[in-house]
């Protein structure tokens, strides 16, 4: 009953207009981006007279999340099974793209292999759930690069030297570090998007996905620490922080200021996880701290109304 109601409500509210895009920019704090904003929101003619205080559709927010779920699903499925999403799971509106890179990891640690398999199934199910909810307005899977982007991210974090290659699928350790690039971002992305969702049914579903992403992040952070990879993970955290704005919010798995104390659960002073705006999330996955519409893991950008990173 819940699923039928969710999908019916989602399809009823799934239209995306240029007005939605203007309202989303306002909600994301991107209204003053100039050229970057104009790429996302062209002149809309007669629609400009619509009520500027009207609510933006939840479909735009869900489609933004769907792009991220495509990325995670393709990474984990390829790492755990050697193949990605099937054709029925990737079609939709916008420009469809291929996936570059990725192969099955020859795991040596049984537990890590099991983690990878379970997370892959969760991410695939997230894709299917969001696509069903969005119906005909679901965006297609955009082009995804799992080779050059991981190398660029590892270089930025200082894990490898310029000119070297980081193989995210080459070992248990590399797989864990690559996973860490995504997992904390997924948690902060859903938390940051939650105030933008107006429908309570949507909000409950998003909260459920956020909880699962938090479980995934906890597994990855704990395993990285157990494998003695705290320094490398902390370097990735610092690299993410350099992309998404001037504040020092991202936290590694140990606390340097506290003499290397364990920090598996990244929270503020109130024990609450921090948020990233959609623009800040795109800063990380585009690997760019400026307002751009493509780059990094999405070489041609993401599909949908929300596609511009924040200007930091």
- pLDDT one-digit tens code per residue, 23-78: 444 444 444 433 333 333 222 222 222 222 333 478 999 999 999 999 999 999 99
Is the pLDDT assigned to residue 15 strictly greater than 70?
Answer: no
Bridge partner residues of 144 (DSSP): 99
Residues 6+ apart with CB under 8 A from 247: none
Q: Pick 100 or 258 by higher pLDDT.
A: 100
Is the pLDDT assigned to residue 8 strictly greater than 80?
Answer: no
- pTM for the predicted model, two decimal places: 0.82
- 145 near 299, Cβ under 8 Å? yes
Q: Where is average pLDDT lowest: 55-59, 98-102, 219-223?
A: 55-59
Residue 256 confidence class, pLDDT cut points 50, 70, 90: confident
- pLDDT one-digit tens code per residue, 117-170: 999 999 999 999 999 999 999 999 999 999 999 999 999 999 999 999 999 999
Q: Provide mean pLDDT across the span 101-106.
A: 97
Q: Provide mean pLDDT across the span 93-111.
A: 97
Q: What percentage of the chain reaches a pLDDT higher than 70? A: 82
Identify the pLDDT of residue 254: 94
Q: Pick 256 or 303 by higher pLDDT.
A: 303
Identify the pLDDT of residue 45: 26
Bridge partner residues of 99 (DSSP): 144
C-alpha neighbours within 13 Å on the C-beta side of residue 278:
29
Helices vs strands, H then E, count in the chain? 10, 4
């Amino acid at each position: 009953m819940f699923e039928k109601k969710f999908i019916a409500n989602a399809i009823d509210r799934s239209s995306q207009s240029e007005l939605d895009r203007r309202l989303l920019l306002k909600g994301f704090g991107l209204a003053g981006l100039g050229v970057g904003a104009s790429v996302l929101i062209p002149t809309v003619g007669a629609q400009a007279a619509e009520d500027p205080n009207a609510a933006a559709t939840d479909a735009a927010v869900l489609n933004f999340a769907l792009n991220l779920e495509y990325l995670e699903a393709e990474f984990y499925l390829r790492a755990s099974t050697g193949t990605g999403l099937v054709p029925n799971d990737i079609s939709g509106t916008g420009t469809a793209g291929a996936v570059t890179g990725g192969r099955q990891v020859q795991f040596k640690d049984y537990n890590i292999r099991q983690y990878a398999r379970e997370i892959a199934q969760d991410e695939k199910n997230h894709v299917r759930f969001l696509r069903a909810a969005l119906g005909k307005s679901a965006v297609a899977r955009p082009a995804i690069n799992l080779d050059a982007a991981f190398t660029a991210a590892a270089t930025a974090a200082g894990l490898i030297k310029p000119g070297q290659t980081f193989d995210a699928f080459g070992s248990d350790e590399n797989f864990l570090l690559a996973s860490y690039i995504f997992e904390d971002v997924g948690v902060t992305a859903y938390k940051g998007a939650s105030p933008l969702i107006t429908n309570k049914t949507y909000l409950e579903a998003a909260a459920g996905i956020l909880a699962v992403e938090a479980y995934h992040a906890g597994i990855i952070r704990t395993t990285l620490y157990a494998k003695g990879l705290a320094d490398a993970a902390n370097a990735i955290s610092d690299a993410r922080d350099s992309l998404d704005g001037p504040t020092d919010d991202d936290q590694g798995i140990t606390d340097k200021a506290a003499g290397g104390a364990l920090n598996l659960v990244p929270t503020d002073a109130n024990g609450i996880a921090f948020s990233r705006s959609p623009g800040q999330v795109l800063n990380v996955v585009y690997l760019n701290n400026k307002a751009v519409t493509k780059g990094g893991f999405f070489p041609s950008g993401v599909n949908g109304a929300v596609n511009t990173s924040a200007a930091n």
